[in-house]
């Protein structure tokens, strides 16, 4: 199984080498991979019969419980078949749709990367590897949405999608780590064996909140839905594949996967029902206010995802069965509708549903495919959409005291989706063919066979539900409930409330379709509410955040060196003062301090005078020289304490430093007084505080009786072992000779620096 | 285990720097020799790493004065790993410099100083003596300062002044800290200090000293509120210089913080709060800065800060797991940041600008190069399973264990900002059509270079990208390594015993 999942990545990796050849000669060769995988999964169907699972284990990062093990059960089988099956059709369709496109090979590269990642998400048995594949779907989606990379709007849409799903992914990562922390395993199989661990854990609420954010962002639930309509900038095969049939269902998949582990609690059900119900109605209303075919389909997809979230939220066996059927039904009809839209766009150059009409006359096979898809979407009998709708209504009606309200919302959504489906699948083909489309021709069979094939399947499963009943759907429901769940699918349930609702849906839907005409005017009315849409709110937050970013950065990184120094010293002073007065008994024993000699006093006075001179001088050169004097005064202290070598070193270092500074400063503009009096006083206060603190600390440190082991060893052994009379010298050149050697290197480097600063003057007109 | 050969990495860089000084003005010879020395240094570092990995901590005492009286050099797994990674980065930068640096700069001792700089870094990773560490810091500061000013354009000098002033401030504080430590314990040997510091009654003074070290190393690692020198200076020098700076200089600070706060000062509660606050605000400042800038050099500079914040998270949480995340990230970050500054150098060479608004069309005109550059860019973002991803799991888990939920929030925020910034950069630089954008004056453009010259630009990027991929896909190996390092750091008994050659009594 690992080969099946990872083959897409290897395939993509081969493309930079072989892509150019394949693109030009045999573009259909790319379809080989998804077809082979589809056949592979199809032949594995018997393995999962009756709720069995097939697990294959591959070690990856054993020290952290992260592995590449895969789990094939009903749920992952359904998705794997959809991913590879629709993948095969989309790959084939693209060969003609983007024929001759210079980046065709890259397109297939991203597409196969996406397919592999998506297979990884649904098949992973390890939460961490699932997350990894999950993020890879976001990234490959980023590249696919931005495929027309020279258009600014494509780039923006790609950013929006990546921003929302990437954010959701990171939040979900925290959720997954939390699950791993709470349950002590990342293995889904293991979690399934003890579902109570998480439900009874104290962090349960946090876990579901974090997982929900991940699922809702990916599956475009309100208020994160807006990236999906924007993502329609991608070429139509991408919209078909990623943004209707597979990737956006990853969130739904995640919820379905977690139902037996996290589900069936008050917060789980309530949140999902609320968000799902709101999203499905909100998006369905939006769908019928659009005129662009792809926008209509995008919003109806969001609505369908809302229905799925809603059904998983209800969580009864019936509802989960409804969800399983609807996932399949939706994938079949929505993929077909997208492919058809692509054909219309490709052949006529328009996607405006208010203008398109009568195309059946020029592309009959496409019209047939559209007709079937629209009927399945509406839920007409003998199509798979009918089955799913019936079960859905039944599940809604069984839901206790809220049954009436929820079923009503569901019916209303379904009516609106009826209209949206008819607009996309029937409207462009009915009526009279306008003049401008007279010359439109039927495209290559590579384009219209895929949607027709999908339609055939909708019809086949709708008429003979027994084909999928036990082989596929039953295992799916079992893996969602976590136990053996017998199911029964039938076309005829007798005269009951569900049938009545179905009839109402169809009648009202048809009524609305006849009387409501898609138009720009209708669309523009909705723009009034633009500024309270989540998209707008999030963008506004984003722009405020940018302003905050600028203010914050400019505040700290203000360009003045002295401000930087002040900030650092203030931080240090506060830190030190807090710790010093918080925990130290300040006590200074003056007796311990050695007697001060007159020569020392002179040197100190000299130092203080130089410091003041350095501060008050208006000339940079004078300041630097004054600082040099401070350094030299320091050397005198070394001399007093019988360390002439040290004094010499310090002397030369100081000289060099002054020289270096001079050379740099010469190239800077003239010294100006920037600071006001207030700032100067502030600086003086801070400096005094800092100096005092360090002085107190120094005295404190001397209070501590320290071990004299090392210094005593030096004194004892300087002559005996190191053969030197001056201890300081011996320390410098022997005990710690390494330090001295390295300091010599420092001098060499400094010398090179001084030399190049003086000599090297690059011609400013040339760069680098 | 006593083994005086562990100073070999330092010796070879010292030799390289010294020998190259004798080939003053012979830039072509210097290029060859530098590459050769870097390759030898890389081999030696690999040898050292294998030795330490297989046989445990290796120690040598300079001048054969037994510890704590002389200067000890210690190669533990952490030190040896840092030496190895810095040798890798050094090798890449040496090749890249040969291709990218102007002849005039090379004539003024660029290569010798590059090797001295790396010597300084590796000395710091290998020393077991706190004052010797200071001396290595000096080497690093002076050589980086000279590298930054080499060529002396005004913008460059302005940045260099800020850089050197703030870093000298850090050194001064470090030195004061060392003086206090010496005053308290009477020793400079870090292992010896680690033992003796436990006997000090006045804990308050030690805490204050720890604060001094934190600020001194904090300035060097560019954490909030001490990072100012980095955005002021990193984008000004040539790409090769920025690459070695971006990859290694701040990491030396992080190394020093990790080393001193695990070996010498244990973290108390207050320090934990301070570190956590620093971590959070550093992530925020870096992320925000990267968001608002348009210059690739500045963006990468701020991203360095942001990711130093990530590493500080590990120190704020201060558990073995959290430190493991930090060590893993440190390894990843050195490779990827070095690479990114080289990438920005290549882009500058192609178009004559680093302003993302003025760049475009790379994806169309240089598809293979774009693919190559995508590797470090997306590794930096931490798209799983690339190298920047793994450490986040450990930090998040460590944060959950210690209930540091706010820090987890900041990790998510920092990751998101990085993702956003890099995606924006990808859109502008690679996707946006390049036609009609002004082409800046550039001397010789990338396209005009000969094939062999182009390889000197591209090979180092390829080399480091492969290593990044290795860190990501063979994460298990790096995790085992980081686990070992973090374990050693949290329990430094082995380190102390090896250096002092004694057996500690277990309390």
Over the stretch A81-129, which tens digit does the pLDDT of each residue have?
999 999 999 988 888 888 877 788 888 888 889 999 999 999 999 999 9
Region class of A122: left (phi > 0), else alpha (psi between -120 and 50), else beta: alpha
Q: ∠A374-A379-A381 over CA atoms, to 5°?
A: 110
Q: Which residue among A131, A174, A546 places its CB closest to the CB of B292?
A: A546
The CA distance from B184 to the nearest CA of chain A, in Å, is 5
Q: Which residue among B274, B285, B479 places its CB closest to the CB of A552?
A: B285
Q: In Å, how far are A73, A170, A704 from A297, measured between CA atoms?
A: 30, 28, 78
Q: Which residue among B65, B186, B383 places its CB closest to the CB of A711?
A: B186
Q: A764 φ, ψ to 5°?
A: -65, -20
| Rounded distance between C-alpha atoms, residue A406 and residue A409, angstroms | 5
Helix axes B27-55, B8-21, angle to 10 degrees: 170
Residue from B194, B311, B166, B303 nearest B242 by CA: B303
Task: Determine the average pLDDT of the residues in A464-482.
Answer: 84
| pLDDT value at A704 more than 80 | no
For residues B467 and B335, the answer to whether their CB atoms sit within 8 Å is yes
Task: Count Cβ atoms below 10 Å from residue A183 Cβ, excluding itself.
Answer: 19
- The reply to whether residue B211 touches residue A764, judged by beta carbons under 8 angstroms, is no
Give me the average pLDDT of each 10-residue run along chain B (507 residues).
86 93 88 94 96 92 83 94 96 92 82 94 94 94 88 76 90 92 89 88 83 92 89 85 90 94 83 91 93 90 94 92 94 95 90 83 84 91 89 92 91 93 90 75 74 86 94 91 93 90 72
| Rounded distance between C-alpha atoms, residue A266 and residue A110, angstroms | 41
Q: Which residue has the tokens 């009034």?
A: A528
How is A392-409 classified by DSSP, letter by letter? HHHHHHTSGGGHHHHHHH
- The reply to whether residue B442 touches residue A668, judged by beta carbons under 8 angstroms, is no
Task: Determine the average pLDDT of the residues in A399-406.
Answer: 82
- The reply to whether residue B143 touches residue A749, judged by beta carbons under 8 angstroms, is yes
Residue from A536, A538, A541, A534 nearest A221 by CA: A534
Q: Which residue has the tokens 């009826």?
A: A418
- The reply to whether residue A701 touches residue B384, judged by beta carbons under 8 angstroms, is no
Q: Which residue among B113, B160, B228 places its CB closest to the CB of A752?
A: B113
- The reply to whether residue B427 touches residue A155, judged by beta carbons under 8 angstroms, is yes
| pLDDT value at A14 more than 80 | no
pLDDT tens per residue across span A371-382 = 899 989 888 888
- The answer, for B423 touching chain A at a CB cutoff of 8 Å, is yes
**Domain span holding position B412:** 277-492
Q: Which residue among A177, A752, A761 places its CB closest to the CB of B152?
A: A761
The helix (run of H) or strand (run of E) holding residue B58 is strand B58-61
- The reply to whether residue A553 touches residue B160, judged by beta carbons under 8 angstroms, is no
| pLDDT value at A706 more than 60 | yes
| Rounded distance between C-alpha atoms, residue A71 and residue A120, angstroms | 10
- The reply to whether residue B21 touches residue A748, judged by beta carbons under 8 angstroms, is yes
For residues B140 and B13, the answer to whether their CB atoms sit within 8 Å is no
| Rounded distance between C-alpha atoms, residue A508 and residue A511, angstroms | 5
- The reply to whether residue B228 touches residue A567, judged by beta carbons under 8 angstroms, is yes
- The answer, for B187 touching chain A at a CB cutoff of 8 Å, is yes
Task: Determine the average pLDDT of the residues in A605-628.
Answer: 86
Q: A61 φ, ψ to 5°?
A: -125, 75
For residues B13 and B119, the answer to whether their CB atoms sit within 8 Å is yes
Choose, out of B128, B146, B201, B391, the residue to mutate when testing the contact with A (most A CBs < 10 Å): B146
Task: Determine the average pLDDT of the residues in A672-686.
Answer: 79
A55 SS3 class:
strand
Q: Can you give the pTM of this predicted structure? A: 0.91
B373 SS3 class:
helix
Alpha helices in B318-404 (DSSP H): 320-351, 362-365, 367-381, 390-402
Q: Which residue among A571, A664, A742 places its CB closest to the CB of B136?
A: A742
Count of A-B CB contacts under 8 Å:
312
| pLDDT value at A705 more than 80 | no
| pLDDT value at A763 more than 60 | no
Contacts of A644 (CB under 8 A, 6+ apart): A638
The CA distance from B476 to the nearest CA of chain A, in Å, is 5
**What residue in B sits closest to A166 (Cα-Cα)?**
B416
| pLDDT value at A767 more than 50 | no
Task: Write down how long chain A is.
Answer: 768
The CA distance from B100 to the nearest CA of chain A, in Å, is 8
B2 SS3 class:
strand
Choose, out of A17, A549, A669, the residue to mutate when testing the contact with B (most B CBs < 10 Å): A549
| pLDDT value at A766 more than 50 | no
| Rounded distance between C-alpha atoms, residue B196 and residue A287, angstroms | 74
Please state the domain extents for chain A: 270-525, 559-716, 717-762
Q: In Å, how far are A36, A90, A184, A447, B255 from A28, measured between CA atoms?
A: 13, 11, 47, 12, 54
For residues B207 and B298, the answer to whether their CB atoms sit within 8 Å is no
- The answer, for B183 touching chain A at a CB cutoff of 8 Å, is yes
Task: Write down how long chain B is.
Answer: 507
Specify the pLDDT at position A22: 64
* Per-residue tokens: B312: 């500080």
Looking from the CA of A742 toward its CB, the CA atoms found within 13 Å total: 31
| Rounded distance between C-alpha atoms, residue B250 and residue B245, angstroms | 7
Q: Which residue among A155, A553, A768 places its CB closest to the CB of B289?
A: A553
Q: pLDDT grade, residue A315 (50/70/90)?
A: confident
- The answer, for B185 touching chain A at a CB cutoff of 8 Å, is yes
- The reply to whether residue B368 touches residue A584, judged by beta carbons under 8 angstroms, is no
Specify the pLDDT at position A19: 64
Specify the pLDDT at position A234: 86
Residue from B206, B234, B229, B203 nearest B218 by CA: B229
Q: Which residue among B153, B158, B400 places its CB closest to the CB of A177?
A: B400
pLDDT tens per residue across span A523-578 = 676 666 666 777 788 888 888 888 888 888 888 888 888 888 888 989 988 888 88
| Rounded distance between C-alpha atoms, residue B258 and residue B326, angstroms | 9
What is residue A428's DSSP assignment?
Answer: G
| Residue-wise burial string across A588-622, b where 16 or more C-beta atoms lie within 10 A, e elsewhere | eeeeeeeeeeeeeeebeeebeebeebbeeeeeeee
Q: Which residue among B63, B116, B157 places its CB closest to the CB of A749?
A: B116
Domain assignment of residue B179, yes or no: no
- The reply to whether residue B108 touches residue A759, judged by beta carbons under 8 angstroms, is yes
Q: A485 φ, ψ to 5°?
A: -120, 110
Specify the pLDDT at position A330: 92
Domain assignment of residue B244, yes or no: no
* Per-residue tokens: A411: 């019916």
For residues A313 and A371, the answer to whether their CB atoms sit within 8 Å is no
| pLDDT value at A207 more than 80 | yes
**What residue in A sits closest to B352 (Cα-Cα)?**
A767
A224 SS3 class:
coil
- The reply to whether residue B162 touches residue A561, judged by beta carbons under 8 angstroms, is yes
How many domains, chain B?
1
- The answer, for B366 touching chain A at a CB cutoff of 8 Å, is no
Residues of B in contact with A746 (CB under 8 A): 135, 138-139, 142
- The reply to whether residue A61 touches residue B476, judged by beta carbons under 8 angstroms, is yes
Sign of CA dihedral A720, A722, A725, A730: negative
Rg, C-alpha atoms of chain B: 22
Helix axes A104-123, A249-262, angle to 10 degrees: 10
Domain assignment of residue B301, yes or no: yes
Q: Which residue among A158, A561, A704 places its CB closest to the CB of B165?
A: A561
| Rounded distance between C-alpha atoms, residue A426 and residue B206, angstroms | 81
Specify the pLDDT at position A761: 61
Task: Determine the average pLDDT of the residues in A454-470.
Answer: 86
| Rounded distance between C-alpha atoms, residue B208 and residue B210, angstroms | 5
| pLDDT value at A28 more than 80 | no
A355 SS3 class:
coil
Specify the pLDDT at position A672: 64
- DSSP H helix total and E strand total for chain B: 22, 2
Specify the pLDDT at position A132: 92
**What residue in A sits closest to B105 (Cα-Cα)?**
A760
| Rounded distance between C-alpha atoms, residue A705 and residue A696, angstroms | 16
First-to-final CA distance of chain B: 24
The CA distance from B15 to the nearest CA of chain A, in Å, is 11
Domain assignment of residue B434, yes or no: yes
Percent of chain A with pLDDT over 70: 92
For residues B230 and B304, the answer to whether their CB atoms sit within 8 Å is yes
Rg, C-alpha atoms of chain A: 37
Q: ∠A327-A330-A332 over CA atoms, to 5°?
A: 105
- The reply to whether residue B215 touches residue A571, judged by beta carbons under 8 angstroms, is yes
- The reply to whether residue B186 touches residue A139, judged by beta carbons under 8 angstroms, is no
- The reply to whether residue A552 touches residue B214, judged by beta carbons under 8 angstroms, is no
Residue from B116, B182, B124, B105 nearest B143 by CA: B116
**What residue in A sits closest to B164 (Cα-Cα)?**
A661
What distance separates the 2 farthest-apart alpha carbons in chain A?
116
Strand A54-56, strand A70-72: pairing: antiparallel
Specify the pLDDT at position B55: 92
Sign of CA dihedral A641, A642, A643, A644: positive
- The answer, for B447 touching chain A at a CB cutoff of 8 Å, is no
* Per-residue tokens: A627: 């600082």
Specify the pLDDT at position B422: 93
The CA distance from B41 to the nearest CA of chain A, in Å, is 19
Specify the pLDDT at position A768: 41
The CA distance from B363 to the nearest CA of chain A, in Å, is 9
Specify the pLDDT at position B73: 93
For residues A715 and A727, the answer to whether their CB atoms sit within 8 Å is yes
| Rounded distance between C-alpha atoms, residue B184 and residue B171, angstroms | 20
């Amino acid at each position: 199984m690992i080969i099946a999942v990872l083959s897409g990545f290897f395939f993509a990796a081969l493309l930079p080498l072989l892509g150019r050849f394949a693109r030009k000669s045999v573009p259909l060769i790319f379809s080989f991979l998804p077809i082979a995988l589809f056949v592979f999964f199809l032949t594995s169907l018997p393995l999962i019969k009756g709720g069995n699972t097939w697990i294959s284990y591959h070690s990856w990062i054993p020290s952290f419980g992260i592995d590449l093990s895969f789990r094939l059960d009903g749920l992952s089988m359904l998705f794997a078949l959809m991913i590879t099956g629709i993948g095969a059709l989309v790959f084939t369709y693209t060969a003609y749709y983007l024929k001759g496109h210079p980046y065709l090979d890259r397109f297939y590269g991203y597409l196969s990367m996406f397919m592999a990642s998506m297979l990884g998400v649904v098949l992973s048995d390890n939460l961490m590897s699932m997350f990894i594949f999950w993020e890879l779907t976001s990234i490959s989606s980023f590249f696919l949405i931005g495929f027309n990379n020279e258009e600014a709007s494509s780039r923006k849409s790609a950013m929006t999608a990546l921003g929302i799903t990437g954010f959701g992914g990171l939040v979900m990562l925290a959720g997954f780590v939390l699950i791993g922390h709470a349950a002590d395993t990342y293995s889904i199989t293991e979690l399934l064996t003890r579902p109570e661990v998480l439900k009874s854990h104290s962090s349960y609420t946090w876990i579901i909140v974090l997982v929900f954010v991940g699922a809702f962002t990916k599956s475009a639930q309100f208020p994160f839905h807006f990236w999906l309509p924007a993502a329609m900038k991608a070429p139509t095969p991408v919209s078909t594949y990623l943004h209707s049939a597979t990737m956006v269902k990853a969130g739904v998949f995640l919820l379905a996967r977690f139902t037996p582990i996290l589900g069936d609690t008050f917060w789980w059900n309530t949140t999902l029902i609320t968000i799902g119900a709101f999203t499905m109605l909100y998006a369905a209303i939006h769908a019928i206010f659009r005129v662009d075919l792809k926008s209509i389909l995008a919003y109806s997809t969001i609505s369908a995802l809302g229905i799925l979230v809603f059904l998983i939220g209800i969580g009864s066996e019936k509802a989960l069965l409804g969800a399983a059927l609807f996932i399949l039904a939706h994938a079949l009809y929505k993929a077909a509708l997208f492919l058809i839209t692509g054909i219309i766009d490709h052949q006529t150059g328009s996607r405006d549903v208010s203008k398109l009409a009568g195309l059946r006359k020029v592309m009959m096979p496409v019209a047939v495919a559209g007709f079937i898809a629209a009927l399945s979407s509406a839920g007409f009998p003998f199509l798979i959409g009918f089955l799913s709708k019936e079960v859905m209504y039944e599940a809604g009606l069984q839901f206790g005291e809220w049954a009436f309200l929820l079923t009503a919302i569901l019916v209303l959504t379904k009516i609106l989706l009826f209209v949206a489906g008819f607009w996309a699948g029937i409207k462009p083909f009915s009526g009279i063919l306008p003049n401008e489309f007279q010359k439109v021709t039927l495209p290559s069979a590579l384009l219209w066979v895929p949607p027709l094939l999908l339609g055939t399947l909708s019809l086949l499963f709708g008429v003979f539900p027994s084909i999928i009943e036990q082989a596929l759907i039953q295992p799916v429901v079992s893996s969602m409930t976590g136990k053996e769940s017998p199911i029964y699918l039938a076309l005829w349930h007798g005269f009951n409330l569900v049938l009545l609702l179905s009839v109402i849906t169809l009648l009202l839907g048809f009524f609305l379709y006849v009387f409501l005409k898609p138009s720009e005017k209708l669309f523009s009315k909705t723009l009034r509410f633009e500024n309270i849409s989540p998209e707008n709110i999030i963008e506004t937050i984003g722009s405020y955040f940018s302003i905050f970013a600028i203010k914050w950065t400019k505040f700290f990184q203000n360009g003045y060196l002295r401000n930087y120094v002040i900030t650092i010293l203030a931080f240090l002073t506060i830190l030190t003062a807090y710790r010093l007065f918080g925990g130290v008994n300040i006590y200074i024993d003056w007796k311990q301090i050695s007697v001060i000699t007159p020569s020392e006093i002179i040197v100190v006075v000299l130092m203080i005078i130089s410091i003041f001179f350095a501060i008050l001088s208006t000339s940079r050169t004078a300041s630097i020289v004054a600082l040099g004097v401070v350094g030299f005064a320091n050397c005198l202290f070394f001399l007093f304490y019988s360390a002439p070598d040290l004094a010499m070193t310090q002397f030369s270092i100081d000289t060099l430093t002054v020289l270096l500074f001079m050379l740099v400063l010469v190239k800077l503009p003239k010294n100006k007084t920037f600071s006001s009096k207030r700032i100067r006083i502030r600086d003086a206060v801070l400096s005094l505080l800092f100096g005092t603190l360090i002085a107190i600390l120094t005295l404190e440190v001397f209070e501590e009786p320290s071990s004299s082991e090392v210094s005593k060893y030096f004194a004892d052994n300087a002559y005996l072992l190191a053969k030197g009379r001056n201890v300081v010298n011996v320390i410098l050149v022997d005990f710690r000779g390494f330090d001295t050697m390295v300091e010599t290197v420092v001098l060499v480097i400094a010398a090179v620096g001084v030399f190049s600063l003086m000599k090297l003057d690059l011609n400013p007109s040339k760069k680098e | 285990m006593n083994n005086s050969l562990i100073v070999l990495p330092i010796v070879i860089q010292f030799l390289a720097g010294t020998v190259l000084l004798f080939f003053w003005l012979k830039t072509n010879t210097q290029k060859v020799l530098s590459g050769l020395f870097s390759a030898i240094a890389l081999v030696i570092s690999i040898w050292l790493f294998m030795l330490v990995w297989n046989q445990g901590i290796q120690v040598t005492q300079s001048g054969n004065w037994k510890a704590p009286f002389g200067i000890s050099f210690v190669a533990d797994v952490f030190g040896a790993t840092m030496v190895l990674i810095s040798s890798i980065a050094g090798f890449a930068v040496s090749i890249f410099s040969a291709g990218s640096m102007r002849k005039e700069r090379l004539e003024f001792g660029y290569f010798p100083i590059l090797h001295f700089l790396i010597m300084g870094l590796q000395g710091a990773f290998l020393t077991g003596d706190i004052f010797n560490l200071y001396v290595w810091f000096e080497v690093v500061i002076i050589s980086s300062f000279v590298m930054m000013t080499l060529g002396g354009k005004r913008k460059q000098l302005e940045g260099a002044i800020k850089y050197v002033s703030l870093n000298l401030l850090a050194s001064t504080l470090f030195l004061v800290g060392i003086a206090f430590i010496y005053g308290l314990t009477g020793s400079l040997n870090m292992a010896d200090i680690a033992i003796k510091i436990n006997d000090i009654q006045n804990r308050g003074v030690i805490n204050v000293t720890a604060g001094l070290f934190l600020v001194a190393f904090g300035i060097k690692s560019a954490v909030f509120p001490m990072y100012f020198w980095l955005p002021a200076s990193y984008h000004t020098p040539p790409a090769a210089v920025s690459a070695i700076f971006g990859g290694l200089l701040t990491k030396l600070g992080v190394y020093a913080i990790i080393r001193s706060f695990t070996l010498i000062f244990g973290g108390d509660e207050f320090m934990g709060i301070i570190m956590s606050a620093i971590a959070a605000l550093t992530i925020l400042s870096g992320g925000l800065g990267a968001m608002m800038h348009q210059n690739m050099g500045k963006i990468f500079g701020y991203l360095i800060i942001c990711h130093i914040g990530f590493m500080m998270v590990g120190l704020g949480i201060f558990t073995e797991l959290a430190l493991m995340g930090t060590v893993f990230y440190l390894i990843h970050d050195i490779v990827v940041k070095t690479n990114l500054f080289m990438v920005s150098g290549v882009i500058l060479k192609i178009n004559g600008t680093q302003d993302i608004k003025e760049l475009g069309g790379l994806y169309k005109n240089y598809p293979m190069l774009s693919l190559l550059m995508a590797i470090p860019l997306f590794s930096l973002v931490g798209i799983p399973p690339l190298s920047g991803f793994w450490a986040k799991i450990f930090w998040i888990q460590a944060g959950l264990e210690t209930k540091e939920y706010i820090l987890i929030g900041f990790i998510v925020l920092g990751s998101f900002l990085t993702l956003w910034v890099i995606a924006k950069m990808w859109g502008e630089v690679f996707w946006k059509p390049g036609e009609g954008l002004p082409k800046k004056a550039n001397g010789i453009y990338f396209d005009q270079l000969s094939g062999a010259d182009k390889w000197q630009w591209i090979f180092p990027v390829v080399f480091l990208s492969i290593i990044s991929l290795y860190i990501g896909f063979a994460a298990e190996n790096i995790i085992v390594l980081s686990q070992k390092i973090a374990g050693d750091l949290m329990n430094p008994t082995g380190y102390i015993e090896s250096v002092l050659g004694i057996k500690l009594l277990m309390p």
